């Protein structure tokens, strides 16, 4: 059986492959971390000194370059990341829309403040950029998620060194090419392709002032541990989740099932906000399963460029597909009951059908993020038990309540431990106009998206007078 890999490293040459076909997508050398960071440090003073309006104008020109190249970029995302073209296009749109959102957020979150203080002069609050920011991107949203760090960092006056996932270097390079065409000064945005070694070198490099990371909890914890003795380096961690979606009484069971499908299986379950656990009260279990299982069975899984367009493409590679299959089998062995078996539709390619498994009978359910199309179902007697079960995790990214009354949602919102809490909406698809982030193993309390401005510049408090004016009124010798 041929192994389809998402990337291959040979003699410091990185190669990425399309998960749907196994064809080579991109090939290039590993980056030189020391050389890139050195150029970034030299470029920073001029970029930071550039007027804010000029930095914003360059960011808008970047958006125009992305807009002009939108179809090619969407095709590249679909090919290299394996997501359907319709979804890849929404990702490109999100990259473009991030500019205006970040400009507004910077003005609101880091705007200048000045307070008169009579004889004491005036007090001012302004913000300054950190310096060189390393952005480490994931493969599931290879353009949108790193861009969500890069745009706020650049507007604030930082230089960006971007390391894409080794599984999607082609998309990362295309994004940086758009920056180069925008007219940004040389070395303002640079790319370092490579594998874990390059990522570790960037994190530890003394010339890097901040690390903006999106990825797994395991990698995020390693970054946090590495920098624990260096409090001066800004660290923003966006990590995964074992996200719950809780369903209680509702007259719209078909709609509830559709929301569960969207939450669990969009992007083949490869979203940090995807629903991993479906928690259902006993009174609606049968009715929900009667809608959910047939609906999931109808989902089209196929090539990203197929017509009609599939709901799901492949997962990123065969290694991940095999691990997910093993996880599904392990849950069955531990006492789970398959409601919809997950299947690999092609022995040579990582296409997985949705899997739904009732794990109520498993005493010690593993609290892990199964990053793919596996949904665990857990039965509970009532909403309070559902809330307790939803909180039975070390993660805390996203949670949704489906059905119930406003009072039910109020109780749910007040008691759920998560950074994103929704009602009658999916767990995923968060808006960039709102903060985004989680607690516990999901992140370090630095919400991204709209609040990214908070970690891209630091506040400076000043008291100021036009002329020195002071006297010592006590404690002087006669």
Interval 328-358: pLDDT, tens: 999 999 999 999 999 999 999 999 999 999 9
Q: Which of 194, 137, 141 is nearest to 162 (CA)?
A: 137
Is 430 a domain residue?
no
Same domain, 459 and 409: no
Is there a contact between 257 and 288 (Cβ–Cβ < 8 Å)? yes
Q: Which residues are catalytic?
A: 238, 272
Q: pLDDT (tens digit, 9 = 90+) per residue, 128-185?
A: 999 999 999 999 999 999 999 999 999 999 999 999 999 999 999 999 999 999 999 9
**CATH code for position 384:** 3.40.309.10
What pLDDT does residue 6 have? 60
Is 397 a domain residue?
yes
Is 258 a domain residue?
yes
CA 459, CA 221: separation in Å to the nearest integer?
27
Same domain, 262 and 366: yes
3-state secondary structure of 191: strand
**Which of the listed residues 394, 423, 452 is the one where a domain comes to its end?**
423
What pLDDT does residue 332 have? 98
Same domain, 40 and 66: yes
**CATH code for position 61:** 3.40.605.10
3-state secondary structure of 367: coil
Same domain, 89 and 156: yes
What pLDDT does residue 117 have? 67
E-strand stretches of 117-207: 122-129, 132-136, 159-163, 189-191
What pLDDT does residue 87 have? 98
Q: Which of 171, 148, 165 is nearest to 74 (CA)?
A: 171
Same domain, 316 and 197: no
3-state secondary structure of 193: coil
Is 322 a domain residue?
yes
**Termini Cα distance of the chain:** 96
Secondary structure element (H or E) that encloses residue 398, with its range: strand 398-402
pTM for the model stands at 0.95
Same domain, 197 and 101: yes
Same domain, 192 and 275: no
What pLDDT does residue 465 have? 87
User: Residue-wise over 178-214: b if at least 16 C-beta within 10 A, else e?
Assistant: bbeebebeebbbbbbbbbeebbebbbebebbbbbbbb
Q: Which of 2, 205, 13, 168 is nearest to 78 (CA)?
A: 168
Is 285 a domain residue?
yes
Same domain, 178 and 278: no
Is 468 a domain residue?
no
Print the domain residue range for 293.
243-423
Is 433 a domain residue?
no
Same domain, 310 and 399: yes
Same domain, 221 and 350: no
Residues lower than pLDDT 70 in the chain: 1-11, 117-119
CA 224, CA 221: separation in Å to the nearest integer?
5
Is 435 a domain residue?
no
Domain count, the chain: 2
Same domain, 174 and 151: yes
Same domain, 177 and 326: no
What pLDDT does residue 119 have? 67
CA 63, CA 205: separation in Å to the nearest integer?
30
């Amino acid at each position: 059986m041929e192994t389809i890999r998402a990337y291959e490293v040979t003699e410091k040459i990185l190669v990425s492959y399309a998960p749907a076909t196994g064809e080579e997508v991109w090939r290039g050398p590993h980056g030189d971390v020391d050389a890139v960071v050195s150029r970034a440090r030299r470029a920073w003073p001029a970029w930071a000194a550039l007027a804010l309006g000029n930095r914003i104008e360059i960011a808008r020109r970047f958006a125009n370059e992305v807009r002009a190249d939108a179809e090619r970029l969407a095709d590249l995302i679909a090919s290299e990341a394996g997501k359907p073209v319709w979804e890849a296009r929404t990702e490109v749109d999100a990259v473009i829309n991030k500019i205006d959102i970040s400009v507004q957020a910077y003005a609101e979150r880091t705007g200048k403040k000045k307070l008169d203080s009579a004889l004491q002069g005036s007090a001012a609050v302004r913000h300054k950029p950190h310096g060189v920011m390393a952005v480490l991107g994931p493969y599931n949203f290879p353009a949108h998620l790193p861009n969500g760090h890069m745009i706020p960092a650049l507007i604030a006056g930082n230089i960006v060194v971007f390391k894409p996932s080794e599984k999607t270097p082609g998309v990362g390079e295309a994004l940086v090419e758009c920056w180069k065409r925008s007219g940004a000064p040389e070395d303002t945005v640079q790319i370092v392709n490579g594998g874990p070694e390059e990522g570790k070198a960037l994190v530890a490099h003394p010339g890097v002032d901040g690390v903006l990371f999106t990825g797994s909890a395991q990698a995020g914890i390693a970054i946090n541990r590495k920098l624990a003795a260096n409090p001066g380096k800004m660290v923003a961690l966006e990590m995964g989740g074992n996200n719950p979606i809780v369903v209680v009484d509702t007259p719209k069971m078909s709609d509830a099932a559709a929301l569960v499908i969207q939450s669990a299986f969009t992007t083949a379950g490869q979203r940090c906000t995807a629903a991993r656990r479906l928690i259902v009260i006993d009174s609606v279990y049968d009715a929900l399963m009667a809608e959910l299982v047939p609906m999931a069975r109808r989902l089209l899984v196929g090539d990203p460029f197929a017509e009609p367009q599939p709901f799901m493409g492949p997962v990123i590679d065969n290694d991940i597909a095999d691990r997910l299959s093993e996880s599904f089998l392990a849950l069955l062995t531990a006492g789970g009951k398959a409601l919809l078996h997950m299947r690999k539709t092609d022995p040579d390619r990582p296409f997985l059908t949705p899997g739904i498994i009732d794990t109520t009978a498993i005493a010690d359910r593993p609290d892990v993020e199964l990053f793919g199309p596996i949904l665990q179902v857990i039965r509970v007697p009532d909403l309070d038990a559902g809330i307790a079960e939803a909180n039975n995790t070390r993660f805390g990214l996203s949670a949704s309540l489906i059905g119930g009354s406003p009072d039910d949602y109020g109780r749910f919102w007040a008691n759920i431990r998560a950074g994103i809490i929704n009602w009658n909406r999916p767990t995923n698809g968060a808006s960039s106009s709102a903060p985004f982030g989680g607690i516990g193993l999901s992140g370090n309390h630095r919400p991204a998206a709209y609040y990214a401005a908070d970690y891209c510049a630091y506040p400076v408090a000043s008291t100021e007078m036009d002329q020195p004016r002071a006297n010592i009124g006590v404690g002087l010798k006669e």
